[in-house]
Amino acid sequence: MDEAIVTCALTGAQQGKATNPALPEQPDEIVAQGLEAWRAGASILHLHARDPAGRATADVGVFRTIVEGLRTGGCDAVLNLSTGGAVAGLALEARLGVVIELEPEIASFSVGSGCLLGRRDPQARRWVNDRVVPLFASHAELERVARLFAAHGTRPELEVYHAGMLNNVEALHALGLLEEPLLVNIVMGIPGECTQPTVKNLLHLVEGLPASARWLVSAIGARNHFRMLGACIAMGGHVRVGMEDNVYVAPGRLARSNGEMVEKAVRVLRELGVEPASPARTRTLLNLKGRRE
């Protein structure tokens, strides 16, 4: 593979400026860093929204402000709007509003029932962040949402946290509800019921995908984030970086922006003989129908 799609996930639904003061929260910050990431080589921008207090929100108006700001700035990147935020307590129907009202080219779609999060603190001898994040209550609900995506012409980025979720991808695919090629984001490294970020685990998950699928990896945390990039490229995958997943650009050094993280990813790609795909090329690789927002 001599080209790879670079996705930048700008802000997420959880971490705030306490983890890195440069993490963008308000629309103007997200737009500015999105433009920088696009100029650095990101052809997909994955967008969450925050309220004025910095909390995750599903408010379509905030998403619209961000989208319009990026387009006014000349950005032609593919925009991937989040329908996530369950981890922040946002209701499913509210989260689906961006698909119904904005009809983006791509939106995230977590294809599972949920995850038990948390890690054991051996010094405190207790569990930290111990909770269940509910996603979908039934296969019928997964099917309903897949049909909603299809009805609005939005390609789902299928979020997979562990091998069991591949069964749900297969079931929706068998129903003819997922356009080719499938776009799959393999999320690794979240403490709890989420696959650990190793090459062996990645190979197992990728082998469970249709051969034509396009896939990328969200490697969570500073230790994992850039280390998995080489494995993804060697295996024919694509790239995701950004402050949603990690706030460090190097060991012990906080990123000054999402653009800096994209710059590093592009440097690594080029050292491996791989070029970042342009937005136009990304649309071809994913068989997207083009912008409507």
Per-residue pLDDT reduced to its tens digit, 111-129: 999 989 999 999 999 999 9
**Quick one: pLDDT band at residue 289, thresholds 50, 70, 90?**
confident
Short-list 114, 91, 93, CA closest to 161: 114
> CA 7 → CA 16, 97, 220, 243, distances in Å?
20, 22, 14, 12
Residue 293: the pLDDT is: 72
Residue 218: how many CB atoms within 10 A of its CB?
A: 27
Residue 290: the pLDDT is: 83
> CA 139 → CA 65, 112, 168, 170, 175, distances in Å?
33, 9, 8, 12, 12
Mean local confidence (pLDDT), 201-229: 95
**Structure token digits, residue 247:** 């706030």
Residue 206: how many CB atoms within 10 A of its CB?
A: 18
**Structure token digits, residue 273:** 């003989």
Contact, 236 vs 209, CB < 8 A? no
Short-list 178, 155, 22, CA closest to 83: 155
The proportion of the chain whose per-residue pLDDT surpasses 70, expressed as a percent, equals: 100
Q: pTM higher than 0.85 for the full model?
A: yes
Residue 142: the pLDDT is: 98
Contact, 90 vs 60, CB < 8 A? no
d(CA 144, CA 120): 36
Short-list 35, 34, 41, 9, CA closest to 241: 9
Asked if the bond preceding 181 is cis, omega within 30° of 0, the reply is yes
Domains defined for the chain, CATH in brackets? 3-286 (3.20.20.70)
Short-list 182, 125, 131, CA closest to 159: 182
| DSSP annotation of 280 | H
Strand partners, 167: none
Q: How many CA atoms lie within 13 A of 209 on its CB side?
A: 26
Contact, 132 vs 112, CB < 8 A? no
**Structure token digits, residue 227:** 């280390």
**Quick one: pLDDT band at residue 132, thresholds 50, 70, 90?**
very high
Rounded to the nearest 5 degrees, what angle is found at the Cα of 82, between the Cα atoms of 59 and 176?
A: 125
Buried-state track 256-291, b at ≥16 Cβ within 10 A, e below 16 = ebbbbbbbbbbebbeeeebebbebeebbebbebeee
* pLDDT above 80 for 257: yes
The proportion of the chain whose per-residue pLDDT surpasses 90, expressed as a percent, equals: 97
